[in-house]
Amino acid sequence: MRATARLAARVDRHGRTTLVELRGESPLLLRQVPAPGGGLTVYVVGGAAGPLAGDDLRLDVEVGPGAAVRVHTVAASVALPGRPGAVSRMLVRATVAERATLLWLPEQLVAAAGCAHVADSRVDVAAGGTLHWRDELICGRYGEQPGNVEVNTWVDLDGRPLLRQSLAVGPNAAGWAGPAVLAGAPATGSLLIVDPDRPAEPPAVGVTWARLPLAGGPATLWSATAPDAHTLREYLEPETALDTIAASGGRGERGVVRVG
């Protein structure tokens, strides 16, 4: 299956964020919902199972100057096996203009047994733009080992590289469950916050999480592993990440190593 979807947002003459384009194809169906506090919220609705090996999917997101968009999915995406030897692919391409805000906060990607999936994200943020970008991966459904999944995230800020991150899990990724990568944790993810108005946060490392400022701009990367999706989300929820870590006992402040 091949499918594309696109959303584009602009600010109207009254200063309100409006959608100038919203279109999709199954399984990438886009639905706008009411959003309190300004901006707008769009949900990606899965119109079919998958992605299945052999699927080729693409979502484009464009946030114009001064606009604010929040993107969610209604449920986790489950990467499933398909044709023998085939690979499923999902490309998300996003641009965030000056003074614009994009909050990309989907549900988890689940790597089901036997899958072969590549998830690529390419994001361009202009100077003065704000971005929250969350990726979460669950390594297999309950009681099963994952298939092969590769998650690649590339973010540029003001035309310069800010983040280049890649993670591969599954039978073809040697050592992925070892101490140098996930150490046996079935859930992992990251949250990138680019915000010119957010105070700088010092680097810190806990038992299962790390907070690292990035050299390329006003940006901080949170990374975490966890025993389940619920715990992972507590670490990577933008509004509650600091409080969760401070209250997490042995997993948080009492296990912190501050850098610098």
pLDDT tens sequence across 167-178: 999 999 999 999
The answer to whether 33 and 43 are in contact (CB under 8 A) is yes
Q: What pLDDT is stored for residue 202 in this prediction?
A: 87
**Taking all residues of the chain, what is their mean pLDDT, rounded to a whole number?**
89
Asked whether the beta carbons of 14 and 41 are under 8 A apart, the reply is no
Distance CA 131, CA 193 (A): 6
pLDDT at 34: 80
Q: Are strands 68-73 and 77-79 parallel, antiparallel or unpaired?
A: unpaired
pTM to 2 decimal places: 0.90
Q: Evaluate the CA torsion angle 101, 69, 64, 76 in order and state its sign.
A: positive
Residues 6+ apart with CB under 8 A from 56: 1, 2, 3, 88, 89
pLDDT at 256: 38
Alpha-carbon dihedral of residues 60, 63, 69, 74, nearest 10 degrees? 0
Residue 252, pLDDT score: 38
Across 239-252, average pLDDT = 47
Give pLDDT tens digits for 119-131.
999 999 999 999 9
The pLDDT, as a whole number, for residue 238 is 73
The whole-number average pLDDT for the span 225-240 is 88
Give the model confidence (pLDDT) of 141-150 as tens digits: 988 999 999 9
Give the phi and the psi of residue 245 in degrees, each rounded to 5. -70, -40
Establish whether the linkage from the previous residue to 51 is cis, with ω within 30° of 0. Answer: yes
Q: Please list the alpha-helical segments (H only) found in the chain.
A: 229-235, 241-246
Summarised one tens digit per residue, pLDDT across range 75-131 is: 999 999 988 889 999 999 999 999 999 999 999 999 999 999 999 999 999 999 999
